[in-house]
Amino acid sequence: MSAMTNGDAREAIADMLADYGHLIDADKLEEWLNFFVEDSVYKIVPRENVVRGLPLSLMLCENKNMIRDRITSLRKANIYNIHVDRHVIGRPRIVGEADGIYSVEANYAVFQTDQDGMTRIFSVGQYVDKVIFLDDGPKFKEKVVVVDTAAVQTLLATPL
Amino acid sequence: MSAMTNGDAREAIADMLADYGHLIDADKLEEWLNFFVEDSVYKIVPRENVVRGLPLSLMLCENKNMIRDRITSLRKANIYNIHVDRHVIGRPRIVGEADGIYSVEANYAVFQTDQDGMTRIFSVGQYVDKVIFLDDGPKFKEKVVVVDTAAVQTLLATPL
Amino acid sequence: MSAMTNGDAREAIADMLADYGHLIDADKLEEWLNFFVEDSVYKIVPRENVVRGLPLSLMLCENKNMIRDRITSLRKANIYNIHVDRHVIGRPRIVGEADGIYSVEANYAVFQTDQDGMTRIFSVGQYVDKVIFLDDGPKFKEKVVVVDTAAVQTLLATPL
C-alpha cells in the first residue's frame, strides 16, 4: 500500500468507521468482527481512567478470539436485542502514522431506542484506534473506546 | 456523468446530505424540494416495520407532487414553527451503484429545541436513499427515512 | 494558496473543525487559540436573535486578545472542569468564497457528562465561520456559534 496518499488513507478509514457503526446498529456483529485482525486489542475504557492513568477497562479483549467469544456470549444471552443502537460518528482525525500503522481518533455518539420507541443518549466518547491496511482494506490493530458516559451494566453487553 | 469517479460521487452526495439537513433546519422547505425529481418516492418508516417486513409508513409520498402538497399543508398549519430542528448526519455509505443509481445510507440525529430553549432528541435513524445525478447535481430518486424513535404526532408534521 | 482546489479547501477546513472540537473536549484551550488570527471575531449568539436580527451575544470576543482573556479567566475560575465535553460536528458546507475568505457552515452537537457519568445534550447549533488560509493552514477570521439551546449560565463559562 506504499502508493496510498494520506488523503486516500483518511477516506478509507472514514469509510471503515461508517461501516463499523452500521454493522453494530444492524446487529451484524459477525461481519463487524472482520474489521479486526487476529492480534487486535479491543477495549472500552472510562475517560476518567484514561485521564488519571488507571488501567481498569470496562471491556478488555486482548485478541480477536476474545472478541469472538463476547459476540458468542451476546448471541446466547440475547439481552441486547431489547434496545437498538444508532451511531453518529464524527470525522476521523489522523493523528500519526508510523510503519504503516495509522493513529486515528474520532468522536462518537451512540443513541439507544427501547421497545416503546423512546430514544436516549447511550454513550458518547472517543475512538482511539490503530489502523493497518491489508489487501482487503483497513483493519483495527487496536481499538480503544474511551467512554464519557458511565453506563456500566449495559456497556458490558454490547460493543460500541 | 460517466467520467465521475466513486470518490467524486461520494463527495457530491455527502454535500447534498449536508445541504438537505441545512434546508430543513433553516425552514427552507421549498428549496429542499429541489433535491427530489418528479417521480421521487419519499417515505418515513418505523425501523421495526422495516425489520419485520411490514409496509406501513408514517409518511408516504409517492411522487414530488405529494411532497409539495405536504409542504403546502405545513405552511398553512404553521405547527412546526414552534420548534426548531438541527440535523447532525453521519458519513454516507455508498452501498451500491447500478445504471447510474447510487444506493446510499447515512445515520442521522435530529435535535429539536422548543421556545424555552430546551433541546431534546427528536429523531434518530437512517437515511436509505437512491440517488441519481442530473446536470445540476445529485437528486433523490427515492428517500426512505427509517426512524428508530417513535414520535408519531410530530413526525407527521415535518420532514426529517 | 492560489493552487488550492475547492475540494482541498473543504478537506482542510473539515480537518480543522475536527481538531477544533477535539481541543475543546481535551481541555487544550491554549492550543485551540491557535485557530484564531489576531483580529478574529468569536461570538456565541442565540439562534432566535439571529433570526430576529437582534445584536445581543452570549459571548462576544472582538479580537484574539479577548479570547485569550476568556481562557485565562476560565483557568482561574476552574469551573468548567466539573463537566467534560464531547463534540460531534457535521460535514462543513462551503457556502461561498471571496478574496480567499471561505464562508463555512457546520452543524454541531456538544454533549456534556458530569462527574457521575451522566451525559446530556449541552448545546446544539450551527457554526457560521469565515476561514482564511495561512502558511500553517486554515484559521478563523470570524467564528459565530449560533446556539439553538438556551443554557446561559454554562454557555458563559466555556467555548463551544
Torsion of CA C105, B5, B33, C106, to 10 degrees: -10
* pLDDT at residue B115, as a whole number: 87
Exposure pattern of A93-118 as b/e (b: 16+ CB <10 Å)?
bbeeeeeeebebbbbbbbbbbeeebe
Are A107 and A89 in contact, with CB atoms under 8 Å apart?
Answer: yes
From CA B123, how far away is CA A117, in angstroms rounded? 10
Contacts of C113 in chain A (CB under 8 A): 47, 124, 148-150
* pLDDT at residue A66, as a whole number: 96
Q: How far is CA C8 from CA A7, A69, B79, C15, in A?
A: 10, 43, 42, 11
Q: Note the pTM of the prediction, 2 decimals.
A: 0.95
Locate B94 and state its grid cell: 455508498
Helices (H), chain A: 6-25, 29-32, 47-52, 64-77, 152-157
Confidence class for position A153, pLDDT limits 50, 70, 90: low
Across-strand partners of C139? C132
From CA B125, how far away is CA A26, in angstroms rounded? 11
Backbone CA torsion sign across A48, A49, A51, A52: positive
Q: Min CA distance, C32 vs chain A (Å)?
A: 15
Cβ neighbors of A27 (< 8 A, separation 6 or more) are A80, A81
CB pairs B-C closer than 8 Å: 62
Contacts of B91 in chain C (CB under 8 A): 91
Angle at C65 between CA C72 and CA C55, to 5 degrees: 105
| Cα atoms in the Cβ-side hemisphere of radius 13 Å centred on B29 | 19
Backbone CA torsion sign across C26, A112, C107, C43: negative
A78-115 confidence digits (pLDDT tens): 665 678 999 999 999 999 999 999 999 999 999 999 98
| Between C95 and C58, residue with greater pLDDT | C95
Exposure of C145 by Cβ count < 10 A (0-12 exposed, 13-18 middle, 19+ buried)?
buried
From CA C158, how far away is CA C160, in angstroms rounded? 6
C75-85 confidence digits (pLDDT tens): 887 665 678 99
Exposure pattern of C55-86 as b/e (b: 16+ CB <10 Å)?
eeebbebeebeebeebeeebeeeeebeebbbb
Going by C-alpha positions, the residue among A9, A6, A21 that lies closest to residue A159 is A21
Residue of A nearest to C82 (CA): A48
From CA A101, how far away is CA A46, in angstroms rounded? 24
List the chains bordering chain A where 3 or more Cβ pairs fall under 8 Å.
B, C
Locate B37 and state its grid cell: 425529481
Q: Min CA distance, B2 vs chain C (Å)?
A: 20
Least confident range from A36-40, A154-158, C22-26: namely A154-158
**Percent residues over pLDDT 70 in chain B:** 91
B15-35 confidence digits (pLDDT tens): 999 999 999 999 999 999 999
A86: nearest CB among B92, B124, B151: B124
**Percent residues over pLDDT 90 in chain B:** 72
B107: nearest CB among A86, A117, A121: A86
* Contact (CB<8Å) C18/A126: no
* pLDDT at residue A152, as a whole number: 53
Contacts of B17 in chain C (CB under 8 A): 91
Number of Cβ within a 10 Å radius of residue A16: 19
A29-53 confidence digits (pLDDT tens): 999 999 999 999 999 999 988 888 8
Are A31 and A136 in contact, with CB atoms under 8 Å apart?
Answer: no
List the chains bordering chain B where 3 or more Cβ pairs fall under 8 Å.
A, C
Predicted confidence (pLDDT) at residue C30 exceeds the cutoff of 80: yes
Site from B107, B112, B146 to mutate, A interface, most A CB atoms within 10 angstroms: B107
From CA A78, how far away is CA B50, in angstroms rounded? 20
B113: nearest CB among C93, C107, C149: C149
Are C57 and C44 in contact, with CB atoms under 8 Å apart?
Answer: yes
B37-57 confidence digits (pLDDT tens): 999 999 999 998 888 888 888
Contacts of B88 in chain C (CB under 8 A): 88-90, 107-109, 124
Helices (H), C59-134: 64-77
Interface of C with B (CB under 8 A): 7, 46-47, 88-93, 105, 107-109, 121, 123-126, 148-151
Question: What are the DSSP calls for C39-50, one per residue?
Answer: EEEEEEEEHHHH
Q: Min CA distance, B138 vs chain A (Å)?
A: 20
Number of Cβ within a 10 Å radius of residue A72: 12
* Contact (CB<8Å) B116/C150: yes
By DSSP bridging, strand B101-113 and strand B84-89 are antiparallel
Number of Cβ within a 10 Å radius of residue B154: 14
Exposure of B52 by Cβ count < 10 A (0-12 exposed, 13-18 middle, 19+ buried)?
exposed
pLDDT, average across residues C138-153: 88
Strand ranges in chain B using DSSP code E only, listed in sequence order: 36-46, 59-61, 84-89, 93-98, 101-113, 119-134, 137-147
Confidence class for position C153, pLDDT limits 50, 70, 90: low
Predicted confidence (pLDDT) at residue B80 exceeds the cutoff of 70: no
Contacts of C52 in chain B (CB under 8 A): none
